[in-house]
Chain A
Amino acid sequence: MSFLNKLGIGVGAGAGSGREVSRAMGGSGRPRNNGVSPVAAVGATRTAELRESNRPSNGLKEFLWNLEGLGRGALLDLGPAWQTTLSFFIERGFRVSSEDLLRAWKEFLVEEEGKLHEAAGRAAQHTLDVSPSARAARFLEANLQYPHSSFDAILLWDLLDYVEPVVAKQMVANLTELLRPGGVVFAMFHSKKPEGFQRYRVVDSTSLQVISSPVLCPAQRVYQNREIQDLFGRYRTMKSFIGRDQLRESLFIK
């Protein structure tokens, strides 16, 4: 069984969604959609295909409160490039960098699977190290490449629930390096394994829009409070808010 299947991302994962994109960022060719349309947008003509709902977000409110008076701060958004989210922060004077890390992770795994097949067809000396730690190292060599202390704030969303634990650990370590002292991370954790897959965007300073989306990656782990604290052990402050939807919003201040 391939590691892609082990992670629940094998062919057919997210079946029924029918709207998944597997365009490789660094691929040489331009992958086609093969009949499936691109990832969902919340445009006027597409709303029927997606479920959206707004939820109050104390975590976001607190996040913004911590960033007050920052002036032209730098923010890293690790979710999809939503117009509303980018606009929200740019209009408040932030310099925003966007990197959909979960999409990159999915595409990375697909590429790894391809390399594995190639290696299997070649001599033994070309075998690929498929241990989770080696995979994490390869993924992070190609992503999150910014100078140290580049950002005042990071929107991590619920990303850590969806990547392998070893990747999550290394990712948090890398993000800590990217964050300036006093910088803030906004993360979300599911209190129980999520049934669907959803993405988030900022509506206003007190609420988020939750968008049910085709499954990009299935959840890998449900983190307990203690485990979250261990992950962010290098941060001086942690604050959590649990919503009615069993979503824990957490703020970490470096």
Chain B
Amino acid sequence: MWKKEDVKSQRVPEAGTGISTGSLAAANNPAREVSTASVSSKASACISQGIRIKGEVTGSEDLFLDGHFEGTLNLSNDSSLTVGPNGEVKADIFAREVIVRGRVDGKIVGREKIQLWSTGNVAGDLQTERLMIEDGAVLRGRVEIETGRPIEKRDEARGAAAGSSKGGGISVSSGSAAN
């Protein structure tokens, strides 16, 4: 069962430099496998397997995406996105931290960190301060490590906008969703 706490525990110990050379040893633990059948109510937001969304998602909460998504995914500077093992994303992604366990076609901007797990498959450029790639992950794209400065003005502006929206949460707009 997927819980928000699980995601926190998945995080790799902080590395001092931009690139961590440590393998995601903990990621190999089968006990951590995410059940895609159900999601804990403690999860901030979840697009689960079988859900298809086209459009734009913005928000200031952590998001777990295990379904299909096409469009743009903008999370605020404090939020993390996890693309689950069944997730398929065709979108540019902006978030504080991005964990990829499924498939992503598009640019990923993870302001603080991007993690590609062994089942992760990314076709697109990566832009972040810290990158962790588990063995077996597939990457087709350019890697830009930019330590110590904002990644994009657009990201900041979006974060501010998301932060100002009362109640936070994830909003889906100008799109269509189908199960």
Contact = CB atoms under 8 A, between A and B. Distances in A.
A91 B19 contact: yes
B53 interface: no
A86 B137 contact: no
B21 interface: yes
A140 to B, nearest CB: 15
B28 A90 contact: no
A238 interface: no
Contacts of B21: 83-84, 87
Given A23-B121, A43-B27, A90-B19, A38 B142 contact: no
A44 B135 contact: no
A60 B87 CA distance: 38
Interface residues of B, number: 35
B48 to A, nearest CB: 15
Size category of the binding interface on chain A: 20 to 34
Interface in B26-78: 27-29
Contacts of A45: 25, 28-29
Nearest to A150: B142
17 contacts: A25-B123, A25-B138, A30-B88, A38-B118, A41-B134, A41-B136, A43-B135, A46-B135, A82-B133, A86-B19, A90-B131, A97-B141, A97-B142, A98-B142, A99-B141, A100-B140, A103-B138
Please give me the 7 A-B residue pairs with the lowest Cβ-Cβ distance, nearest first. Answer: A41-B135, A81-B139, A44-B25, A41-B136, A87-B19, A45-B28, A83-B133
